[in-house]
Amino acid sequence: DSGVTQTPKHLITATGQRVTLRCSPRSGDLSVYWYQQSLDQGLQFLIQYYNGEERAKGNILERFSAQQFPDLHSELNLSSLELGDSALYFCASSVEGGTTEAFFGQGTRLTVV
């Protein structure tokens, strides 16, 4: 167990809908990262937050947004869902953003039908 908790583990929803994925980082970790992994693909960086502030942004679609709350948990919001958004979404956390290890949660498997 990495200490990073993601909910829900599985999510099935219809095209056009909106979903929210939740991530609770390890205790003491200030930095949260979101990644998208499509079937048999690599880990595509979406966005990073550090202590409530956006730190870095990757190829995140405009239909996607995220935030980190004062208690350091983070939510990834996906709207106007398309079939191609079906993927495994991972959250990772680290103490800070420098040379410290990042630990991954179990992921949320999103299926858009």
Partner 1 sequence: GENVEQHPSTLSVQEGDSAVIKCTYSDSASNYFPWYKQELGKRPQLIIDIRSNVGEKKDQRIAVTLNKTAKHFSLHITETQPEDSAVYFCAVRAAGNKLTFGGGTRVLVKP
Sign of the Cα pseudo-torsion (86, 87, 88, 92, in order): negative
CA distance 84 to 90: 16
Contact partners, residue 27, CB within 8 Å, separation at least 6: 3
Q: Is 23 in the site for partner 1 (CB under 8 A)?
A: no
Q: How far is the CB of 37 from partner 1 (least distance, A)?
A: 9
Site string for partner 1, 33-52 (x = CB under 8 A): x-x------xx-x--x-x--
Specify whether the CB–CB gap between 5 and 26 falls below 8 A.
no
Q: Is 106 in the site for partner 1 (CB under 8 A)?
A: yes
The residues binding partner 1 (CB under 8 A) are 2, 31, 33, 35, 42-43, 45, 48, 50, 55-56, 58, 90, 92, 96-107
